[in-house]
Amino acid sequence: MSQPYVIDKLISAKAIDARLEELAREIRQRFADTDKLVVVGLLRGSFIFIADLVRELDMNVEVDFLETSSYGNAMESSREVRILKDLRGEIGGRDVLVVEDIVDTGHTLAHVLKFLEARAPRRLETIALLDKPSRREVDIKATWTGFEIPDEFVVGYGIDYAQRNRNLPYIGKVRFT
């Protein structure tokens, strides 16, 4: 069982919505030449972000998911990334956008990109809702980032702590009591 904590609001739902509109505009411009964009969400943390993002894209998209694991119920990454659920569709020769909830150490995103690059997509870009560059252990950066945040443990908008708080409409900082 997790220890008692409170959640302080870090990024409001209104700020997330406004940033999503900006990001979608940039993505539409980048992929204006594609007939269908394959949007790959990394489960579970990205599910709310990907749902809101694809509704803003106003273009032909196919949605697929990869499930990875590097945290379990812990607050620290194990740095051992496992693919728990593979894509259903083919991405060879296609334009792909990988949607990540948070880039922390960078291990998950690096592992996923290597995994997907082996399938020879035409173009492979990335978007992360949150970025914690102060914790980076792998030299990697998402093509687009929603918000850069300090080294805080966060929840909400799909991101959990021990499978709790994913349903918060904002990003909150966990403070243990």
Residues identified as active-site: 104
Alpha helices per DSSP H over 11-162: 13-30, 47-57, 107-117
Encoded amino acid at 68, one letter: T
Residue pointed to by tokens 């790959």: 40
Encoded amino acid at 82, one letter: R
Measured distance CA(22)–CA(99) in Å, rounded? 15
DSSP letter (8 states) at residue 92: T
Measured distance CA(129)–CA(74) in Å, rounded? 20
User: What distance, in Å, lies between the first and last C-alpha atoms of the chain?
Assistant: 14
Q: Which residues of 137-171 are buried (b: 16+ CB within 10 A; e: fewer)?
A: eeebebebbbbebeeebbbbbbbbbeeebbebebb
